[in-house]
Each structure stands twice: as C-alpha cells, then as structure tokens.
Amino acid sequence: SVTNISINIIGLGTETYPSGTTPLQILTSAKGVSKETIICKVDKVLTDLSVQLDSDCTVQFLDGKSKDGHNVLLHSTAHLMAQAVKRLYPKTKVTIGPFLENRFYYDFDVVTPFTEEDLLKIEEEMLKISKENIDIIHEVKSRAEALKFFKNIGEDYKIEIINDLDDSEVLKVYAQGDFTDLCRGPHVQSTGMIQHFKLLSSSAAYWRGDENNQTLQRVYGTSFTSAKDLKKYLLMLEEQKKRDHRKIGKELDLYFHDEEVGPGLPLWTPNGAVIIDELEALAKEKEDLGGYKRVRTPHLTKGSLYEKSGHLEHYMSSMYPAMDVDGTDYYMKPMNCPHHHKIYANTPKSYRDLPYRLSEYGTCYRYEKSGELFGLMRVRSMQMNDAHIYCTEDQFKEEFIAVCNLYMDYFKIFGIEKYEMRLSLHDPKDLGKKYINNPKLWKKTEDDVRDALKDAGLKFTESVGDAAFYGPKIDVQVWSAIGKEFSLATNQVDFAVPERFNLTYKDLDGKSKTPLCIHRAPLGTHERFIGFLIEHFGGNFPLWIAPRQVTILPVSDRYNDYAHTICQSLKESGVRADVDSRSEKIGSKIRDAEMQKVNIMVIVGEKEVDDSTLTIRRRFIKQQQTISLESFTAEILDEINDRRVPN
C-alpha cells in the first residue's frame, strides 16, 4: 500500500499526498501555486523540484523574482553557458561557475582567451540550447564513480575539487544533454526555463584565486525571468560604468596607484585627502557626543601580540609576512583591536569606568591577493574608522543599539535609503577550527545580539558561517543611489579575546570580571567608503564634502584682483575656494568647472565689480543668482555646517 504524507504548502495550507510525490507534481496539480515557480524550499532548504518527498514536510515554491529563485536561475545560466562553451570549444576545461549578486561567472581553461566575438557566439549557442528545452537531471555518485566519470571526460579540475572535498561530502552531478557538471545544486528543471540572459565581459582569473596557479578565462553574465527585468539591469550597469569610482577618481584627481609604491596601496591627492579629512571630522564629532576617547597606536607590533589575540592562528593568510628584527618577528598590523586591548589594560578599571570607549583612525595593512585587488574596494593599506567598546553584560544591549543608531545617523547624512543588516553567526561544525571553541558563550552572545537588533526595531537577516572567529557580527550592506550593492561596515561582538588579554574590571561586589568588547567601524575603511560615495553621488558630492566647493571665474584678466579678494574672504570663512585666472573665455572656464564637478561657480566681471556683488552658478541649476559676498558666504556656510545632501 502507498503511504501518505502531510505536506504544508506555504500560502496554501496542508494537503495529503502519496509518499514519493515531487514538488513538480504538486506544482502541476495544486491550485494557487504560481506557474512562474522555478525552484522550491523543502523544510527551508533549497531543493530541486524533481526531488521525491518521503516524509511530512513544509514546501515553499519560489519564482525567479525571489532572491533564492533568482540565484538558482543565475547558477543554472552559468551551467548553460558552460555547455555552450564546451559545444563550441570542445578542448576547453571547465572549473567553477557560481552565482553573484545579479550575476554569475564561469572560469574556463582555454587555449586562446575569448574575444568579444566569441562571447556573441557563446550567447547564440546558449539561445539554441535554451530552445532545445533539455531536461536538467541530477544524480548522486560515489566518490569512485565521480572520479572515474570526470577522468573519462578529461575534466581535471573537477577531479581536483573532488579530491579536496571531505569524505562525507555527498557528490551530486547535474546533466543536461551532452553536458554534465559536478554541483551541489539545485537547478531549474530544463534549459527552456532560461531565456533572458546576457554575457557581460571576460577577464583573466587564477585558479582558486592564487597567482601561482593556472591562468583561466572568466566570463561574467546575468539572467532574469523577463526581458523587461534584463533590460532594466543592463541600463543600470551602463550607469554604473559612468559612476565607476576608478574612472571618476581619476577624472577628479582624488587618488591613484603607482607601480613603484605597489599594488593595493593608494596614494591620496590633495582633493582625495579633503574627503578623508571631512569624514574623519564627522566621525570625531559623532564620537565626542558618544563618549569615545581617541587613541593612536603603532603600525607594527611583535608577533607575540597576535599570537595572544588569535590573529596568527585564524587570520595569518591575510597578514603581511613577518619581519625579523633582532631575532624577533614583527608584523604590520591588520587591525587595531589588540593594541586597544593593551591600552584598556594599562590602568586598572572598575565598573564605574565602563563602558570604556576607544576610537582610532589607524592605518592597517592586509595582504589581499593581487587578483582580488579592485580600486578602493579591495586594497592592502586602509584607514579604519575603528573603535572598541568595553562594557559589562548588563550594558551590552544599550551600547550595541547605540552603535546601530550611529549607522542610522550616517545613512541619513549620506542619503542612503536602502540598507540591510546581516547577523553573521558561527557554524557549530567549525568550532575549534574557524571559531573559538565555546558553544555556550556563542549561543548566549548570538541571542543577545539578536535581541538587541529586535529591540532597536532594525531590519536584519541571518547568515550562518560568516561570524568573526571571536564572536558574532553585524555586516552592513548598503545600496547606492542607482541600486548597486556595497559591503560597507561591520559591528562585532567579542566574548573571547578580552579574557586572553586578562582584561578585567572590579565589579560592585568587589570581584574581578571580564568585560565584553564591541568592535565597530560604521564607516568601514575610508578607502571603501569613499569608493562607495564616489559611485553613490556619481562624483557630484554634497557641498560639505566636495574637494572643490567654490571656484571663482573672472570673465577677463582685469577682474582677477577682485576674484582673489573674494577667494581670500571665503577661505577665511572656512570655504574651500580657488580662482581660475587662466586667459580663457568664460564659457570654457564654466565647462571645465562642470567637468571637474565643482559645486558652485562665482562669475565676476565689470557689473559685479561695480556693484560689489557675485553672480552665482550652481551645478544642475540653470538660473543664475546675483548676491552679495556676505549673503553668499552665510548661505553656503549654513549648507556646509548642516551637511545637506541635495535632492
């Protein structure tokens, strides 16, 4: 007899089905399930629609517009692309093809790098395979079967991947016609479900990100469930190209990299340094109000300090190699926290001294692989907006919420409307390896952070396996004005390292206790945050943070003296002003100022000199304004001091 099982279909209720029923069968028979469904979750786990259900469970159907559904579509499109590449270039070896945010890529070992024409050919072949509507079938293989299969078809990289996997790993393969790939899945049901895609670019990449390994060809693409969504995304990508921080950073002379200095080590020009100074002034102002004390620590330290902190055990691959100084290993500091722990421990503390908040704008150094360096987003030298809060368990929630509220203040100042806080938790199976081995404290601290976020009314998601080695953390994602996502900052809880450093305070009962430590960096690094701001504003910075706030344009050399008098007056008031005294026509000066994205142009000629006035021209505002120097100065100082973001 057939055993019946109870299936709770999210949004529809609970129904009884024969054991062995698949989500696909439910999808075709149940009323009310979206016909746009491409994947499902069974008991909250993403699962193929063809899987057999053998026990009571909960099923949630997802379409390609949901985050999980879109990720599956992207990953399935990566497989579609790999199949097309193998058909067109049979000698190509395939490696890995993961999904990213709204994109996917696949790395190929090819004899000759792909050209733009090749990408078009691959895209055409993908369309053919899509129209063939080939079923995508998965099966589980034993390790021996999988190794034999991929050896027979000459896919060496798949063999290497299998050999590196744990013996307990379940090995899945997905086949679609003449193409089979090693993959955990899940995937859409057939190639016909993948119709609206575009290959975006190709570049060189190293196998497993190691420059000592084989150079591969990485092809990026995107995929959506409708032509409309694809077009919308491609238009956004075009806008992103215009706003690329590397492009605008060069045009506005904000920073550059120099080969003799070294990759990933940006040099900030006077214009770029202005933005750093303004950000630092803002942060110091906020921290003064929040009761922080500023400190400074050295750029390098004995290795013994990082042994004690656990960085050498858990973080060494991201640190610069040791320097032997008189037989002792010294390291460039990857972060400020061990030094701050030392400052805390320098003087005895009682419960009356807590919370004890230390902040620093220290430069840190991390060894990012050369293939991962990217403009200001991934660098090797970074200026951290860093602080550490030492507090009691009773003070923790209030302090943690105060930090989160500081994030909200910054979002308002910079016009950031969309954000997401991700609570990064530990994975119990990695205790003692990736994480401090103290399951009881992990659970308590994670619960405390979750409760604090709920009490503050903040939106957040949870992610298992992304915690810091010493405690849970909040990773903050923000979206720019055109919808591009950035990883901005982090807020971490440390329940383990203070004890390693013997950090204590004398409590009300006279007993010595260990404080909790909150690591926070709401502006992240100046490098990454400025990269975000460049793209967020498209280089059109609000007046308060603009490197060049006002430029004075005399219509001829006769009015240079008056222009310089105005400039000096503005400088004395704290406004960043300069004079364009070149012997150029005024139209040319205006165009150059617009190209340099100068916020305000002051035009002076005979009329302005005679009337002791200024003619003001603002970016994006056609109507000019005639005003006195005193009124103009007062007007823009209000705008600067209020840190206004233009609408």
Which of these, 533, 521, 248, lies nearest to 414 by C-alpha position?
533
Residue 173 clears pLDDT 70, i.e. is over it = yes
Measured in whole angstroms, how far is the alpha carbon of residue 582 from the centre of its chain? 43
Tell me which amino acid residue 87 is: R
Measured in whole angstroms, how far is the alpha carbon of residue 363 from the centre of its chain? 20
Measured over the CA atoms of residue 451, residue 402, residue 298 and residue 504, the dihedral's sign is: negative
Specify the pLDDT at position 531: 95
Both tokens of 445, joined, read: 């601290």
Confidence of residue 1 (pLDDT cuts 50, 70, 90): low
CA dist 616 to 77, 320, 389, 554, 622, Å? 53, 51, 47, 12, 10
Average pLDDT over residues 315-338: 93
Residue 647 clears pLDDT 80, i.e. is over it = no
Residue 601 clears pLDDT 90, i.e. is over it = yes
Compute the C-alpha angle 183/184/190, nearest 5°: 70
Average pLDDT over residues 381-393: 93
164/179 Cα distance (integer angstroms): 23
Compute the C-alpha angle 331/268/545, nearest 5°: 120
Confidence of residue 494 (pLDDT cuts 50, 70, 90): confident
Q: What is the DSSP string of 496-536?
A: SHHHHTT--EE-TTS-EEPPEEEEEETT-BHHHHHHHHHHH
CA dist 491 to 338, 344, 424, Å? 16, 19, 10
103/124 Cα distance (integer angstroms): 19
Residue 90: asked if its preceding bond is cis (omega within 30°), the reply is no
Confidence of residue 29 (pLDDT cuts 50, 70, 90): confident
Residue 462 clears pLDDT 70, i.e. is over it = yes
Helices in 485-641 by DSSP H: which ranges?
497-500, 526-537, 560-572, 586-595, 606-611, 629-641
Query: Contact, 511 vs 535, CB < 8 A?
Result: no
Specify the pLDDT at position 8: 94
Side-chain-side CA neighbours of 565 within 13 Å: the count stands at: 12
CB-count exposure of residue 643 (10 Å: 0-12, 13-18, 19+): middle
84/92 Cα distance (integer angstroms): 11
598/268 Cα distance (integer angstroms): 19
Q: What is the DSSP secondary structure assignment for residue 351, as one 8-state letter?
A: G
Residue 439 clears pLDDT 90, i.e. is over it = no
261/500 Cα distance (integer angstroms): 37
Share of the chain above pLDDT 90, in %: 75
Specify the pLDDT at position 359: 96
Query: Contact, 130 vs 191, CB < 8 A?
Result: yes
574/570 Cα distance (integer angstroms): 6
Specify the pLDDT at position 31: 82
Token pair 């050896």 is found at: 151
Which of these, 614, 609, 637, 634, lies nearest to 624 by C-alpha position?
614
Q: Tens digits of per-residue pLDDT, 108-135?
A: 999 899 999 999 999 999 999 999 999 9
Average pLDDT over residues 489-513: 90
Q: What is the mean pLDDT of the chain?
A: 92
H/E element holding 46? strand 45-47
Q: Tens digits of per-residue pLDDT, 520-560?
A: 999 989 999 999 999 999 999 999 999 999 999 999 999 99
Measured over the CA atoms of residue 92, residue 93, residue 95 and residue 96, the dihedral's sign is: positive
Residue 481 clears pLDDT 80, i.e. is over it = yes
196/130 Cα distance (integer angstroms): 10
Specify the pLDDT at position 266: 97
Residue 186: asked if its preceding bond is cis (omega within 30°), the reply is yes
- Over its C-alpha atoms, the chain yields an Rg (Å, rounded) of 29
Confidence of residue 163 (pLDDT cuts 50, 70, 90): very high
pTM of the entire structure? 0.81
Query: Contact, 208 vs 164, CB < 8 A?
Result: no
Specify the pLDDT at position 622: 76
214/546 Cα distance (integer angstroms): 44
For 383, phi then psi, to 5°, come to -100, 115
398/152 Cα distance (integer angstroms): 61
Share of the chain above pLDDT 70, in %: 100
Q: Tens digits of per-residue pLDDT, 281-302?
A: 999 999 999 999 999 999 999 9
Which residues does 221 contact at the CB level (< 8 Å), separation at least 6? Answer: 77, 78, 81, 103, 104, 105, 197, 198, 199, 200
Measured in whole angstroms, how far is the alpha carbon of residue 84 from the centre of its chain? 31
